[in-house]
Structure 1
Amino acid sequence: MTSTHTIDAFHRGHFHVMQPKGGGHRSGVDAMLLASLVAADKPVSVADLGAGAGAAGLAVAARLEKAKVLLVEKSSLMADYARRTLALPENAFLAGRVGVIEADVTLTGKPRLAAGLADEIHDHVVMNPPFNDAADRRTPDALKAEAHAMTEGLFEAWIRTAGAIMKPGGQLSLIARPQSIAEIVDACGKRFGGLEITALHPRPDESATRILVTAVKGSRARLTLRAPLFVHGADGHAFTPFVDDLNNGRAAYPRLGPRRHPQAT
């Protein structure tokens, strides 16, 4: 019988993720770099919005032993993959620190609360929103299309929810395409300040294909453009040493500015 899924190792086998084979969104380096943005030496609560099978959230929990993570996923199928991922024997060390809820990130008000997204309880919110716009070639796979298809006002809706469920002084972290930078800055508006943006370039002589963004709820600090990160060297496909450390959970990519995260209770 042909398998419908794969079990993929991350952080050099520290944890594993069950993902659909040949359909749906499959996590990789983007999720690991997103997870690296969460830096903490105290107990923290982290929400991973649009978590898919849970790769980014699990990467945070695997690296930070005091972190509790909530995986939030709209697709029932992908949420089931996240639950099956948590049930893997290889992930037993994460038991009790990671949970899964099925919820639409764009919900507001009482429906959002009823779905399990309570107000001001998380120290960190991470997200890897859908990134394809209408001009991109559409995939015939329905699940993958839903995971990748950007809709108008998407960043506004997702960042609004992040602001609602995050404690004052908490950190928003996301990865996106560079062309979304204006929408992200606009969506942060007065909710988040102190934006720090890092361009990710495949190689030193190539244009950026992703941006890493962090911001702090309630901050009035100005935007900072950080030094770029190069995923690969000029020659070959090997990761640069620092990106390899980020990808494998050996290092975090903390903010430059003063952190105002409240201590978790």
Structure 2
Amino acid sequence: MKETVDAFHRGRFHVIQPKGEGHRSGVDAMLLASLVEGEGEISVADLGAGAGAAGLAVASRLDHAKVLLVERSPLMADYARKTLAYPENERVADRVRVIEADVTLTGKARLAAGLEDEIYDHVIMNPPFNDAADRRTPDALKAEAHAMSEGLFESWLRTAGAIMKPGGQLSLIARPQSIGEIIAACGKRFGGLEITAVHPRPGEDATRILVTAIKGSRARLAFRAPLILHGETGHGFTKEADDLNNGRAAYSRRKR
């Protein structure tokens, strides 16, 4: 399989990804990583990590973050290992590890796979976002990464809640049409939801939502001001989006 070596955060780290097949990480992964903030040693689990772009972006920006990449696909987990072995990732590689595990595992099977209870300060995820009936693709690897199964958010958030410390932060990026399922899946596990609609340009409909929530919180849901990625013309990022995309800033939760 052909592959590429792609630079992120202005070359501060690189990701090895399959070329022309499977899910390729980009802006979504960088926005997801920007949701993680903390001082000192923090532990982060990246569920459905693919080749590891979001998790490495966290480790790149936060010098004391330790990151677990969780990936079900043996092929993509192997790409994550290749990424960690890439010489130019030496600065972050010793704080990141990979396990092959199905995020939907429960009980003893989940524990046996290495997803232990109440370990992580942050759990981040970019779950498959297309309804299984919406798109068909001959690329089996891409279909696996993109096709949403029934009850996906419930099963992924159940695992996130199990492996996260009390008071830990859930962060995810998804399509706007999934908002109802996400809120329902948070249930009593997570509260204090903050939702940001991400718009490609001023006046255009949102194509993504950023969601953060706190385990065990009873705070009310808040819709934040929208995040605009590009100006009215051209392909350049807005200042805020460029800083988030290149690891110069975190997208901090509101101070309550």
- Pick the TM interval, shorter chain: over 0.9
- What is the CA–CA distance in structure 2 between the aligned matches of 1:123 and 1:54, rounded to whole Å? 18
Amino acid at match of 1:44: I
| TM-score when normalising by structure 2 | 0.99
In the other structure, the counterpart of 1:70 is 68
Measure how far apart 1:236 and its partner are.
1.1
Measure how far apart 1:41 and its partner are.
1.5
Q: SS of the residue aligned with 2:130? A: coil
- Give the % identical residues: 79
In the other structure, the counterpart of 1:263 is none
Measure how far apart 1:95 and its partner are.
2.9
Measure how far apart 1:219 and its partner are.
0.1
In the other structure, the counterpart of 1:7 is 5
Q: SS of the residue aligned with 1:212? A: strand
In the other structure, the counterpart of 2:230 is 232
C-alpha root-mean-square deviation of aligned residues, in Å? Answer: 0.8
Measure how far apart 1:96 and its partner are.
1.9
| TM-score when normalising by structure 1 | 0.95
User: Which stretches of structure 1, 4 residues or more, deviate above 6 A after TM superposition?
Assistant: none
- What is the CA–CA distance in structure 2 between the aligned matches of 1:243 and 1:74, rounded to whole Å? 30
In the other structure, the counterpart of 2:216 is 218
- What is the CA–CA distance in structure 2 between the aligned matches of 1:254 and 1:42, rounded to whole Å? 16
Check if 1:110 corresponds to 2:108: yes
- Structure 2 gap ranges (5+): none
Check if 1:164 corresponds to 2:166: no
Which residue among 125, 128, 136 is the counterpart of 1:127?
125
The count of residues paired between Structure 1 and Structure 2 equals: 256
Measure how far apart 1:64 and its partner are.
0.2
- What is the CA–CA distance in structure 1 between the aligned matches of 2:75 and 2:107, rounded to whole Å? 25
Amino acid at match of 2:160: A
Contact 1:194–1:257 (CA under 8 A) maintained in structure 2? no
Amino acid at match of 1:146: E
Amino acid at match of 1:238: G
Which residue among 248, 251, 257 is the counterpart of 2:249?
251
1:188-238 residue CA offsets vs partner (Å, 9 max, x unmatched): 000000000000000011000000000000000000000000000111111
- What is the CA–CA distance in structure 1 between the aligned matches of 2:132 and 2:125, rounded to whole Å? 21
- 1:77-156 correspondence to structure 2 within 5 Å: 77-156=75-154
- What is the CA–CA distance in structure 1 between the aligned matches of 2:121 and 2:43, rounded to whole Å? 5
Measure how far apart 1:42 and its partner are.
2.0
Contact 1:127–1:175 (CA under 8 A) maintained in structure 2? yes
In the other structure, the counterpart of 1:262 is none
Q: SS of the residue aligned with 1:12? A: helix
In the other structure, the counterpart of 2:192 is 194
